Structure 1
């Protein structure tokens, strides 16, 4: 069976966290149904509150979390740091920042990657694909 055929049989779950509905919509459009031909179809879980993202992550089954660093009242940077310190098998986290100068905070937040928002339609899917590939390799899926 080819890699493409096995990828077609599975899905990956991507959590989107932002208090801004338009940000979540833009992310869903950028992700599409599949971020790369060699990866499974994407299932999206949208969250708009800290409680909802906390529940989804702790419940398990999330392959990648994309967190809005500008979300309020709980920003993605603090949530990322919390999860990376508290959850043993925390999924990779992609942090969205608006200001270029905020990118250094991804190191503090322990995020696996950072992208600027508004997202770049070329780099964003590539970053997502790379994080998902790493996650699938470590989980053995």
Structure 2
């Protein structure tokens, strides 16, 4: 959140954040709608963001764009498997994260 701030690009509206700690709570909020982008921790336990991303794609009728934070660049294939729209490896590069978020939130 500190890497992105509230305005990562002047053409986008201000960002607000909803931080959750468990997959069931994330699913509840995403299923209810109103979330424009999900940023998931691919290294979280017990439910990792990669598995959660795949579950979101399989189960939600309207899934927002999903960005996963992966442990290393070589894990990109896992992000592809999870059907995430984008991934950013650790250590997080704030500029790379900003660019990925801007790309996912840019108006079509």
| Structure with greater helix share of residues | 1
Task: Report SS of the residue matched to 1:114.
Answer: strand
Unpaired stretches in structure 1, ≥5 consecutive residues: 1-27
* Structure with greater strand share of residues: 1
Q: CA offsets per residue over residues 95-140 of structure 1, 9 Å max, x none?
A: 111122211111110000010122112111011011011xx43xxx
Q: TM-score, normalised by structure 1?
A: 0.74
Q: Secondary structure at 1:67's aligned position in 2?
A: strand
Q: CA deviation at 1:33?
A: 1.0
In 1, the alpha carbon distance for the partners of 2:90 and 2:31 equals 26
CA displacement 1:51-106 (0-9 Å, x = unmatched): 11111101100000000000000000000001111112100000111122211111
Cα RMSD (Å) = 1.0
Pair member with larger Rg: 1
2:23 matched to 1:32?
Answer: no
| TM-score normalized by the length of structure 2 | 0.95
The structure 1 segments of at least 4 consecutive aligned residues displaced by more than 6 Å after TM superposition are none
Give the number of equivalent residue pairs. Answer: 108
